[in-house]
Amino acid sequence: MSQSPRSPTLFERYARLVVRRRKAFLIGYVVLVLALGAIGVQVLPALKAEGFNDPNTQSAEVARLLEQDFDTRQPLAVIGATGAGAIDSAATTKAAKQLVKEIAATPGVGAVTSYWTSGKPDELRGRDDRTGEILVYGQRGTDGIVVAKTLTDRFDGKQGALTVHVAGFGAVFNAVDSRVRADLAKAEMIAVPITLILLLFVFGSLVAAGLPFLVALIGILGSFALLFAVTQVADVSIFALNLVTALGLGLGIDYALLMISRFREELRRGAITEDAVVTTMRTAGKTVFISGITVAFTLASLIVFPQYFLKSFAYAGVAVSLMAVLGALTIIPAMLALLGPNVNRVKLLRGDLAPRDDGAWARIARTTMRRPLPYLALGVAVMLVLAYPAMSLVVGQIDDRALPRDDRAAVSSKYLNERFPGYDGAPYEVLLRNPDSTAALTGYARDISKLPGVVRVATPDTIVIKGDVLGPNPQGAGWFKDDIARVVVIGDMPPRDDRGVALVEALRSHPAPATQVLVGGLAAEYGDSNDGIIGNTWIVALWIGLTTLLIIFLYTGSVLLPFKALLLNVLSLAATLGMLVWVFQEGHLQWLTGAYVITGTVDLSSIALVAVLAFALSMDYELFLLSRIKEEHDAGHDTEDSVAFGLQRTGRIITAAALLIAIVFASFLSSGVTNIKQLGFGAAFAILIDATLVRSVLVPTFMRVAGEANWWAPAWLRRIHARIGITEE
């Protein structure tokens, strides 16, 4: 009895539509690119450089109360003015008062406190007796970064008889913002030419090498347009652009290479162009679709974090993944249908460009699978050695030390920190609700002034140093509103420092003569932000873990393979984290990464980004490999032959794609901002270690040891997979 013909799959029907209407698809692509470009070009000025703080914390509540009830904010700029003579000389005083007047007249500036106009308090007098401090506060509702940029551009440097240094969080983030924008263009200038040259060798012909850029173009411009739409309803970080450009180009290469390789394979088998396109879409096209959805789901997990800096990468990651899939499944099959065998025109390599059935990758797979346990043990041992430095991980966050040493904001910060006994520009703000009495407030101030790291404490009425009342507080007017008293604590350590966080915890736990104590300020925001990331990590891990298990089960019908993918990805992430600690926390390999300030920490946000991004791309390569292994196993080959053949067909694709996208991320090492360096190095390392050691050694040996158990599932799960699994039919 003859078997009835198989019904065309959704991807086959779609492929035949693209072949028939290929010119219409090409015209539609051009129109879409132009429309997306017109919208996306507006995104750059709408992006922001902040977003590192958790808005749902005690420190955020303090910031809101300070602005609403006390009409004050953190100083957006701290300015040090140094005269040629003594700080109190007539010439210096005259020049400084004129400087303060001009600063106060700057648009967006709300209030100015200075040594020369506030009674010459000792806390605003430099150790060198030549430098005075000026604290600048922004008006309510103004963009502090914009005002800080104006102050830096207008006043930093020589100002008549004074030398002016502009520091503070606004000046630092303005510098970061400017550098990231410039570094993004520089990274593209480095990565694109190198990538273009390598593409010619990877794709083997000039015509084929141009196709990934068509996918990248719609992926990047489409993401810019979607991000611009998001900026209309939410804050989006400038740092998200780095992900869009790197991932847009990387996924464009991945997906185009996979589809063109399969198309060439089908042509070599004798298929006509239309049938080759249809088979390519049924196999590689389906893999691209599932891969893109998986990458999008994985990167979407970043939405869980409360900081809009990290949320922005979720928006960008989902946008670029889906737009890359859209580009790959429209323009690539249309171009292949139009080009046919001409996709191999202007060959740069001799011989047949189609992948071979046997070669180096198959030999590697068979070699490791002949002695799977020793190779598996060796591979795991290498990963654990790489992961070992992670045992000493110390996390941090971006501050002025993320900038190059010669950046003027970094120079100004260092200059002021060396000349003033306390960090007046980064006070610890303590709000006491329903305090008992003025005397009780003074007693409380005397107690907390003795805490380690405290330089002085100011209440509405007094200034206290090391338990002694120095005198009245000339700035204390308005520090008591309704039922809340404001107490300002000045510390002697950088706010984004473990010692600063320890002082915040000490202040929050110290007994106070009030019904409630709230502690804010930069140090509190830093600690609360870290807690927000760490506290939500389990949700992100659960999200990614369940996504991995579900998608690979639906794709393969196996119980073991999803857990294998999860285990190996975790091992790869551990190795990447270990390298981040060894390089950036301990300061190794600066000849490779470029110079940076060694802070003894790794940026926590960068760790979260690298982990999620690396996991997403490793799933990309996992699906590339598993799809071909499963195809061969379904065709009747045993596990060993399926793995060898699958690795031979995809090993070159995965390695080449990984190398190219790693170059894109490695170009971030040219950035002057340390956390961008960490993102670039971490992503590049994770991609390369996954595409080489994991895919060529750990996956084949694991699957060889497991044998037919790779494909096992209990009967009830097989029934579920038969109903909802991702199959050829």
- R_g over Cα of the chain: 30
How confident is the model over 111-133, as a mean pLDDT?
83
Half-sphere exposure of 439 (CA within 13 A, CB side): 0
C-alpha pair distances (Å), 454 with each of 76, 466, 489, 498 = 22, 8, 7, 14
Show the tokens assigned to 91: 């010439």
Can you say whether the dihedral through the CA atoms of 521, 523, 524, 529 is positive or negative?
Answer: positive
Say how many C-beta atoms besides its own lie within 10 A of residue 530's C-beta.
19
pLDDT at position 728 over 60 = no
Which of the residue ranges 239-253, 281-295, 519-533, 564-578 would you say has the lowest mean pLDDT?
239-253
Domain annotation covers residue 203: yes
Scored b (16 or more CB within 10 A) or e, 549-587 reads: bebbbbbbbbbbbbebbbebbbbbbbbbbbbbbbbbbee
Q: Which domain holds residue 92?
A: 76-167
Domain annotation covers residue 413: no
How confident is the model over 575-594, as a mean pLDDT?
92
Strand positions, DSSP E, 7-118: 77-83, 109-114
Q: Of 520, 552, 587, which residue constitutes the final position of a domain?
A: 520
pLDDT at 581: 95
Q: Of 119, 146, 167, which residue constitutes the final position of a domain?
A: 167
Q: How far from the centroid of its chain's Cα atoms is residue 190's Cα?
A: 20
C-alpha 691/C-alpha 697 separation (Å) is: 10
pLDDT at 238: 82
pLDDT in tens, 691-717: 889 988 999 999 999 888 888 888 888
489 shares its domain with 611: no
CATH number at residue 431: 3.30.70
Which one is predicted more confidently, 678 or 728?
678
496: left (phi over 0), alpha (psi -120 to 50) or beta: beta
643 pLDDT tier (thresholds 50, 70, 90): confident
Count of H helices and E strands in the chain? 25, 14
Q: Of 479, 502, 520, which residue constitutes the final position of a domain?
A: 520
Query: Is the Cβ–Cβ distance between 460 and 473 less than 8 Å?
Result: yes
257 shares its domain with 307: yes
186 shares its domain with 294: yes
pLDDT in tens, 55-98: 889 999 998 888 888 777 777 777 777 877 788 888 888 888 88
Domain annotation covers residue 62: no
370 shares its domain with 246: yes
Show the tokens assigned to 239: 């740092």
pLDDT at position 49 over 80 = no
Query: Is the Cβ–Cβ distance between 487 and 441 less than 8 Å?
Result: yes
pLDDT at position 213 over 70 = yes
Query: Is the Cβ–Cβ distance between 327 and 252 less than 8 Å?
Result: yes
Phi, psi of 92 (to 5 degrees): -65, -45
C-alpha 129/C-alpha 144 separation (Å) is: 30
537 shares its domain with 584: yes
30 shares its domain with 92: no
pLDDT at position 338 over 70 = yes
Query: Is the Cβ–Cβ distance between 311 and 164 less than 8 Å?
Result: no
Domain annotation covers residue 70: no
Show the tokens assigned to 542: 């659960």
pLDDT in tens, 405-432: 888 888 888 888 888 777 777 889 999 9
pLDDT at 358: 66
Looking up tokens 């790794």 gives 602
pLDDT at position 165 over 50 = yes
Scored b (16 or more CB within 10 A) or e, 590-599 reads: eeebeebeeb
CATH number at residue 98: 3.30.70.1320
654 shares its domain with 702: yes
350 pLDDT tier (thresholds 50, 70, 90): low
pLDDT at position 467 over 80 = yes
pLDDT at 2: 43
How confident is the model over 587-595, as a mean pLDDT?
87
Which of the residue ranges 175-179, 224-228, 231-235 would you say has the lowest mean pLDDT?
175-179
C-alpha 31/C-alpha 37 separation (Å) is: 10
Which one is predicted more confidently, 573 or 410?
573
pLDDT at 1: 40
565 shares its domain with 705: yes
pLDDT at position 5 over 70 = no
550 shares its domain with 483: no
353 pLDDT tier (thresholds 50, 70, 90): low
The total domain count for the chain is 3
Tell me how far apart the terminal alpha carbons of the chain are, to the nearest angstrom: 21
Amino acid of residue 256: A
C-alpha pair distances (Å), 654 with each of 239, 658, 704 = 27, 6, 20
Q: Which of 262, 251, 253, 263 is nearest to 292 (CA)?
A: 251
Domain annotation covers residue 63: no
C-alpha 190/C-alpha 246 separation (Å) is: 12
C-alpha 183/C-alpha 177 separation (Å) is: 10
Domain annotation covers residue 35: yes
pLDDT at 223: 94
Domain annotation covers residue 409: no
140 shares its domain with 197: no
C-alpha 709/C-alpha 700 separation (Å) is: 14
Show the tokens assigned to 285: 């096209």
Question: What DSSP letter does each residue of 436-465 carry, written as one string?
Answer: S-HHHHHHHHHHHTTSTTEEEEE-SSEEEE
pLDDT in tens, 498-525: 888 899 999 999 999 989 999 998 889 8
How confident is the model over 478-498, as a mean pLDDT?
85
pLDDT at position 6 over 80 = no
193 shares its domain with 137: no
Q: Which of 244, 259, 241, 335 is nearest to 30 (CA)?
A: 335
497 shares its domain with 556: no
Domain annotation covers residue 67: no
Mean pLDDT, the chain, whole residue set: 86
The share of the chain scoring above pLDDT 90, in percent, equals 31
Show Cβ contacts of residue 239 under 8 Å, excluding neighbours closer than 6 positions.
Answer: 180, 309, 312, 313, 676
